[in-house]
Structure formats: structure tokens, C-alpha cells
Structure 1
Amino acid sequence: MNARQAPEFPQWPQYDDDEREGLIRALEQGQWWRMGGSEVDSFEREFAEHHGAPHALAVTNGTHALELALQVLGVGPGSEVIVPAFTFISSSQAAQRLGAVAVPVDVDEHTFNIDVARAADAVTPRTRAIMPVHMAGFLADMDALDKLSADTGVPLVQDAAHAHGARWQGKRVGELGSVAAFSFQNGKLMTAGEGGAVLFPDAEMYENAFLRHSCGRPKTDRRYLHSIAGSNLRLNEFSASVLRAQLRRLDGQIATRHQRWELLSGLLDSIDGVVPQRGDERTDVPSHYMAMFRVPGISEEKRNAVVDRLVEIGVPAFAGFRAIYRTDAFWEIGAPDTTPEELARRCPHADALSQDCIWLHHRVLLASEGDIRRTAEIIADVVGAA
């Protein structure tokens, strides 16, 4: 097998004259700060409307979006936040950096999303938030999570960094009644290199978040009357202008990714030893941030070798997330009073995914059908050789 046989994938990020025109528009308005310009305000309105939310607040990045969402809900020292054990580390560190304890729970072995029964078992009087992560754009079981939230009084914070434009039983993320945080980092489904946003279901939470993202200072303040504690999490006008263009092409890209995933997942499912991620069918519009699959029983060393070989051939492949308790960072601050071995015992699916999961960049799902078939052939060859 040689490089000439590799499929052709589109580059990412994608851009055209819409982004160029937006950047010039932001430049020539003469105000590059959100308080004097109009791009951030316009993007927030458009993003909120696109996701069916009453309010959106643009911020510096997705990690800050999670931190801000949790802070608005009262998360801080002495509190706990329930997070899936299989996720990017920002999900837990957002809580830990606020002084809270992150409590990992296991995930479903097929959807890779939080196991709601395990989340229910983890609720204590100190729990201030439950954070489902919509892994690869397949939404977590929002019906069961809403019931858990109602039964316990613990609010949800949707980590929607993978779920731009996704829908659950016809409802957009902003119509699900809970706070949701997004990322616009360079690899995300829409990007300005960095950036983030938080959707809020009511004006009170939005106003609180606005103050906290702007050093606690009201928008009309001229006398430095900082009313609450906050930080500078404001997005700039140039990034917002790019994100407005990115948002306009999002739905078309999602439709293409969905068609390609239907093909690719079927092909992967036919490969001996390969098991593709299976989303909850109630996610009627998954956004397909990643194309994820497992090779059950493979060692982590061999999984990593498979990823390296795919990259050598030209397939943008990555090792799956490491279970958060398998990282040194998790134990630095805000860790539960237990051990990695005990958490591994409680989270067998997350632990297995740390070892056997592989994902492909979503630009793979923007390739032609022929390149999708070739990608599946390459995966079959490489996994078979391993």
C-alpha cells in the first residue's frame, strides 16, 4: 500500500469569500472590541436563533464556556459536578478550576455517552451540576437526563462542543431547556481558530453570565462599578465575523457528513474486529464531529500503532480520548477521594474505550463516496495487519 492509494480529503478549516468579507467588515467598522462593534452581537443572535435558544453568549473558547456555565449555576468550592469518564479533559477541568470536585461516571459502550443510571448513583447533596457530553455529535439520552434533573433538582450543563446543529427528537440543542456550551476551536464543526459560546434558557442566567464574562462590569458602566466577580472571556469582533460565515454553511456540511457516515459506518461494521459508534436513534440530526469506532480486545500499544499507520497512509486518524482519571491532570486539583484503579473498576466501558477507540477527523465525512469506500478498505487492511 502506498501514499498514491490514499483517499483525498478536503482541508479543514474551510473558508471562502464569506469569511474574507466578514473580516474586512469587522476591520472597517473601526471598533474591534465587542463593546464597540456589531459582529459579536450579530453572531450571538444568529447562533441563538439557529439552535432555538433565547440567549447566546460568545466567549473566548469552549473550556471557558463550560467554566462560565458552571459558575452561573453556582458551582464552586465544596460542590461536585458529575462528568462522563470518557471525554476531553476540559469537561472535568472546567469544574475543577472553579474549586469543585469532578466525579467521573461510566459511559454507554455503544454511544460513548454518559450512562444515566451511573450518573443517578453518583448524585449527592453536594452535586451542583450533571454534565452530559454529546460525543461525536450524537446526543446523550436527554429524556432520561431531564427526568434525573427534575427528580434530583440538579441542573444539566450540556457539553455540546461536538454538537453544533444537532437535534434530539426534532428539538435543537437550545430547545432542550438546559444550559449548553460550545467550542469553536480549530478542529470543530465551525471554527474561528478558537472561541466558544453558551446558550441560556432564561434572561437571568444570561445577564449573570454577561457580567461574569466581562470582569463583572455592566455593559453601560462608565465608572468601573464591577458588580460581581468575573474574568475577561470576551470574544473579539474578527472571530465573530468568521463564525457568522461558518454558521451559514453548517447545515449543508452536516447533511453531507450524515450521508457519508451512513455509508462508512456500514462498511466499518462489516470489518472483522471493528465496531463503529452507534448513536441513540432519537438523535435524528447528529452532527458527526468525529467518525468513531472501536477495535475491542486490541491492546493500547497496538491501537496506537494502527493510528500511526493510518496517518502514514494519509487518513487523519486519532487515538480515542483517555479516561480522564487516567491522566495526571485530573488528580492535580478537584479530584474525588479515590484512586484511578477504583474509578477504572466503576467505569469499565470508559476504561476499555481508552484502549481500543479510534476516531477520524470529520473532514473524512466530507469526502466523496469513493474515498469513503477506500478509507474503509484501508482500515480493514491496517486493523487486519495488527
Structure 2
Amino acid sequence: MNVRQAPEFPEWPQYDGHEREGLIRALEQGQWWRMGGSEVDSFEREFAAFHGAPHALAVTNGTHALELALQVMGVGPGTEVIVPAFTFISSSQAAQRLGAVAVPVDVDPDTYNIDVAAAAAAVTPRTRVIMPVHMAGFLADMDALGKLSADTGVPLLQDAAHAHAARWQGKRVGEHGTVAAFSFQNGKLMTAGEGGAVLFPDSERYEAAFLRHSCGRPRTDRRYLHQVAGSNLRMNEFSAAVLRAQLGRLEGQIRTRQQRWAVLSPLLAQIDGIVPHRPDGRTDFPSHYMAMFRVPGIGEENRNALVDRLVAAGIPAFAAFRAIYRTDAFWETGAPDETVDQVAARCPNTEAISADCIWLHHRTLLAEEQALHRTAEIIADAVAAV
């Protein structure tokens, strides 16, 4: 492979004086947990309004956001949750940790989002939730999923860990009338190192989740009258203060990413052997959590070697998610009564994508256009050397 100068990419996370001011504000208010301070309450109001939802509940991380959402939606032992087979493992583990069975279904080969027909075929009388994951900041087919939910009576839980600010035909995540969960882990589009949030379309489930996330204890309780079983999933005031600042610059960063993907995607498409991510255009405001592309036929071993070459050349590249059913963790508890091979046989697209897909960190799409041209040149050289 020819040696080229490494492109310059912005660091991540990004911060400025607004985060510093928020941290000092949280410090000096003298109350550092949500029940005494104001930062978490303010962040919840701002995040809910930004996404068009009536209610938001801030929690400790994105995995807990999914688990809490599933719990208040009635998921537990004896129930099933349909999840895409191509996703980060938290999507399935959140259900499995509640004693439910996670049922993986295939994804679309172009969008990498849940295959709605496959989800429909997996619905049983035990199905309690269908969980689309909005891969790389492009929403799954919310029209078809909404119809499936209406036809079956099974509610949707949007795993929106990649989809802060994204819109489907003009509708924000919180405007689809479903519960939705977000992550603020260090690599996400807005971050406090860790953190999560759940959007609720109704007061009943929001209040139920508030109790569950605060050890089952009502806000005004002074006598330890815990009403339900719960856990401590409360976000602290410092994290909320940072996230308020992060939210303020989110949309501007996303618009930059949209412009840069319009440059990088055609450059990738010109490289022999590469197929860029081809999402559904009905996501008319994508958030571009990742810049993804496939190298069909490369095989997992060569794909991993290609990622290593890109990293060595200064590109923030990563192998795509492993199919969740090809991890030991998936089979520890709450797995379907099938073998790995049986699940794989009905998930051919997931099998292929897991072996040939690469993603670039979203800070790549905050770089100058010249850096994107160098990135494409380096990728072309690396692919040619496989």
C-alpha cells in the first residue's frame, strides 16, 4: 500500500466554555443529584422539546434506558422482544436481563435497518415489543413498522442510540407516538462520557419509569415507602450540565456531517469493490452517527485486516457489529430455542454485513473536505492491497 499523509480529523468529544460553565453551575448550586438540583430536570425538558416528545427521563446510560423502557412496557419472563440481528449487543441484552427472550431478525442489505417483513414473521402471542434500531442515524422504515404495530397490537421501542435529532419524513423521533431510548456514551453524537434518556409519549409510562429509575421511591417520599421494585438509574447533575451544552451544538454538527457525507459517499462509490451505505431517503434529516460501507465478498478475516490497515494509516475505522447471535453473551440467558446455524440461516443479510462492513467514526464527517479526499485515497489503496 502506498504511504499517504494521514488526514486531520477533529478530536472527539468536543467541548468549549459552555461545558465548563455548566459544570461550574452544577457545582455551585450545592446539590449534585437530581432530586435536589435543577440540571437534570432542565436537560429533560430541553431534550424532550428538541425531539418533539411530551416527556424525557434521563438515566445512567443507554443500556439502562433500553432496559427501563422495556420494563415499563411489560417485558419480563415469558415474553419476547424482536430485535435486529445486526446491532450492538445492548439491544438484545436489555431484554434478556429482564428475563425475556430476544428474537433476532434479519436486516435490509442496503440500509442495515430491521427487515420489517422478517419482524412480522417473528411475531408470536408472546411478543411484547418490536425494537427497531436506527442504524448510523438513519431511521428504520417507520411507516411500515407503524402499520405492523397497529396490525399486531405490539408496540415499538425505538432504539435511537444513533439517531439524536434525526427525522423521518420531517417527523422527529419523539413525534412517532412510541417510546424511544438514547445513549450519551463517549462515542455518541452528544455525550457526557456515559448517560441515556428515554422519551415517553404519555404520562403514565413516564411516571412508572420515574419510580423504577429511583429505587421505586416517589419524589416526595420521606419515609422510605418504596412503591415498586426498581434500581438507581438516576443521572447526576454534572452529566446533565454537560449534555445541555452538547445539545446546543448538536444540530449544527449534524448539518456539517450531512454536507461531508455528500462528499465522501460518492468518493467511496468510485472505489472498486466498495458499496457505501445506502439508507432510505425518507430519513430526510439523518444524523450520521457512522460513515459506513461494505466490501462484499471480502470475508471477516480480510475485513479485519483492512480495518487494521486503515487505523495504521490514521483513519478512525472499525469493524462493523458482530451478529448478536454469534456472541457467547447472547446465548447465556434469554435466547430463542434455536441453534446458531438456524438463526444464521434466516439472517443472511446480517451474516454478510457482519463480515464485510466497516464504519468510520462520525468525527470523520466533521473534517474539512480535503481530509475526506485523502481518506478515500487511503481506503482505495488499502482495498487494493487486500
Q: Secondary structure at 1:206's aligned position in 2?
A: helix
Off by >4 Å, runs of 4+ in structure 1: 1-4
Task: Give the match for residue 10 of structure 2.
Answer: 10
Q: Secondary structure at 1:119's aligned position in 2?
A: helix
Please say if residues 319 and 358 of structure 2, whose CA atoms lie closer than 8 Å, have aligned partners that are also in contact: yes
Q: CA deviation at 1:354?
A: 1.1
Task: Give the match for residue 237 of structure 1.
Answer: 237
Using the alignment, how far apart are the partners of 2:3 and 2:225 within structure 1?
61
Please say if residues 2 and 313 of structure 1, whose CA atoms lie closer than 8 Å, have aligned partners that are also in contact: no
Q: What are the within-5 Å matches in structure 2 for residues 123-272 of structure 1?
A: 123-272=123-272
Q: Secondary structure at 2:239's aligned position in 1?
A: helix
Q: Secondary structure at 1:225's aligned position in 2?
A: coil
Using the alignment, how far apart are the partners of 2:355 and 2:291 within structure 1?
17
Task: Give the match for residue 320 of structure 2.
Answer: 320
Task: Give the match for residue 343 of structure 2.
Answer: 343
Q: Secondary structure at 2:197's aligned position in 1?
A: strand
What is the TM-score with the length of structure 1 in the denominator?
0.99
- CA-to-aligned-CA distance 1:102-155 (integer Å, 9 cap, x gap): 000000000000000000000000000000000000100000000000000000
Using the alignment, how far apart are the partners of 1:274 and 1:314 within structure 2?
19
Using the alignment, how far apart are the partners of 1:2 and 1:229 within structure 2?
60
Aligned length: 386
Q: What are the within-5 Å matches in structure 2 for residues 65-144 of structure 1?
A: 65-144=65-144
Q: What is the root-mean-square deviation of aligned Cα atoms in Å?
A: 0.8
Please say if residues 85 and 104 of structure 1, whose CA atoms lie closer than 8 Å, have aligned partners that are also in contact: yes
Task: Give the match for residue 330 of structure 2.
Answer: 330
Q: Which runs of 5+ in 1 are unaligned?
A: none
Q: Secondary structure at 1:363's aligned position in 2?
A: helix
Q: CA deviation at 1:262?
A: 1.0
Task: Give the match for residue 363 of structure 2.
Answer: 363
Using the alignment, how far apart are the partners of 2:140 and 2:2 within structure 1?
39
Task: Give the match for residue 375 of structure 1.
Answer: 375
Q: Secondary structure at 2:342's aligned position in 1?
A: helix
Please say if residues 296 and 356 of structure 1, whose CA atoms lie closer than 8 Å, have aligned partners that are also in contact: yes
AA at the equivalent of 2:94: A
Q: CA deviation at 1:176?
A: 0.9
Q: CA deviation at 1:3?
A: 7.1
Please say if residues 165 and 173 of structure 1, whose CA atoms lie closer than 8 Å, have aligned partners that are also in contact: yes
Task: Give the match for residue 308 of structure 2.
Answer: 308
Using the alignment, how far apart are the partners of 1:231 and 1:69 within structure 2?
13
Identity %: 82
Q: Which runs of 5+ in 2 are unaligned?
A: none
